[in-house]
């Protein structure tokens, strides 16, 4: 579970709830209006359904899982594994790596090693793995775009709800006692739209972007590692090549067990 995502969302919701309760007191219930909630959430999702193919929407749970529960692998661990594969290939021959695939849980690494073991042309290996990287980036981009779209439509439907509420309020101008409560209800949809965009959709889109960059970064290390192993580089050379991907603060500890 990604603690930052959970903590950030709880903090945002908690602060808004605290502001409402501390400011409204016993009248905090006035901030709850279910028709307004339904209009903002339902309208935003409906607009998203019109904007994307159905298959993009059915994978919504999987996209959310990436934001809340995916923990990226430590690149130091990945580099250590690639160096270990290089040592085996150097000592026992690259064909010895074929027996290692059962111990690997990353399909991307398995694909690269299997092609290297099969003697696939190096340029073809790099092209196939690079195409897979692009496919991953495109897939992640579609998931992020879905939440960007929801964030865009949320405030818009909030404004639509406000306009509807104002029309209803203006129809009851003959009763001044209803003007204040009517205006309050009308403004709630704008509040809900802003909350949906800035407390949910946009933060999730931002986290998905970070997760995509992290996965592409790790897979890039794999590509460089597989190509170096395939070319028969010394394990120390493989390690030095891959450590260049690490930021300086991690390079010194790359040989130590990741915490």
Q: Is 232 left (phi over 0), alpha (psi -120 to 50) or beta?
A: left
Residue 254 has pLDDT above 60, yes or no: no
Question: Is residue 56 domain-shared with residue 25, that is, in the same domain?
Answer: no
Mean pLDDT computed over 58-83: 84
Which pLDDT tens digit goes with each residue over 172-231? Answer: 777 777 777 777 778 899 999 999 999 999 999 999 999 999 999 999 999 999 999 998
- Residue 259 reports pLDDT greater than 50: no
Least-confidence region, from 54-58, 71-75, 187-191: 54-58
The answer for residues whose C-beta is within 8 angstroms of residue 161's C-beta and 6 or more apart is 36, 39, 40, 186, 188, 189, 190, 192, 193
The residues, ordered by sequence, that sit 6+ positions from 148 with a Cβ below 8 Å of its Cβ are 201, 202, 205
Separation of alpha carbons 242 and 220, rounded Å: 10
pLDDT above 70 as % of the chain: 96
Q: Is the pTM of this model over 0.85?
A: no
Residues 11 and 54 in one domain: no
3-state SS, residue 74? coil
| 44 — pLDDT class (breaks 50, 70, 90) | very high
Q: Indicate whether 57 and 171 sit together in one domain.
A: yes
User: 15 and 89: one domain?
Assistant: no
Give residue for tokens 């992640």.
Answer: 140
Rg (CA), the chain: 26
Domain limits for position 56: 34-259
Angle (CA) 146 105 80, round 5°: 105
Q: Which two three-digit tokens encode residue 21?
A: 């309760």
**pLDDT higher than 60, residue 126:** yes
- Residue 176 to residue 33: CA distance in whole angstroms: 21
- The answer to whether residues 23 and 118 belong to one domain is no
Q: Is residue 91 located within the same domain as residue 4?
A: no
Domain match, 8 and 107 both:
no
118 and 233 in a common domain: yes
For residue 38, give both structure tokens. 């339904």
Q: Is 12 found in the same domain as 41? A: no
- The overall average pLDDT reported for the chain is 86
Judgement on whether residues 91 and 153 belong to the same structural domain of the protein:
yes
Q: Are residues 191 and 235 in the same domain?
A: yes
Going by C-alpha positions, the residue among 184, 132, 137, 189 that lies closest to residue 160 is: 189
pLDDT for 209: 92
pLDDT at 1: 66
Neighbouring CB atoms inside 10 A of 209's CB total: 16
Could you tell me the CA-to-CA distances from 38 to 101, 118, 147, 181 in Å, in that order? 50, 56, 18, 19
Share of the chain above pLDDT 90, in %: 44
219 and 246 assigned to the same domain: yes
Overall residue count recorded for the chain in this entry: 259
Number of domains within the chain? 2
């Amino acid at each position: 579970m990604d603690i930052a995502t959970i903590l950030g969302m709880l903090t945002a919701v908690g602060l808004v709830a605290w502001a409402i309760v501390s400011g409204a007191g016993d009248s905090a219930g006035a901030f709850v209006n279910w028709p307004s909630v339904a209009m903002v959430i339902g309208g935003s999702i409906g607009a998203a359904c019109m904007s994307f193919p159905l298959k993009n929407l059915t994978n919504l749970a999987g996209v959310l899982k990436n934001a809340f529960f995916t923990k990226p692998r430590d690149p130091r661990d990945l580099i250590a594994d690639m160096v270990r594969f290089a040592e085996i290939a150097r000592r026992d021959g690259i064909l010895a790596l074929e027996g290692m695939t059962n111990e690997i849980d990353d399909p991307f690494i398995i694909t690269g090693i299997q092609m290297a073991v099969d003697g696939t042309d190096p340029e073809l290996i790099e092209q196939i793995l690079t195409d897979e990287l692009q496919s991953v980036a495109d897939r992640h981009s579609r998931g992020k775009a879905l939440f960007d779209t929801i964030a865009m439509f949320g405030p818009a439907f909030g404004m639509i709800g406000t306009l509807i509420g104002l029309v209803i309020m203006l129809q009851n101008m003959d009763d001044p006692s209803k003007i204040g409560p009517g205006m309050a209800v009308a403004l709630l949809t704008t509040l809900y739209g802003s909350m949906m965009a800035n407390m949910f959709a946009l933060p999730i889109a931002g986290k998905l972007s970070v997760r995509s960059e992290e996965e592409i970064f790790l897979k890039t290390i794999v590509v460089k590692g597989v190509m170096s192993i395939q070319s028969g580089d010394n394990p120390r050379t493989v390690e030095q090549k891959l450590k260049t991907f690490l930021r300086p603060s991690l390079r010194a500890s790359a040989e130590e067990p990741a915490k």
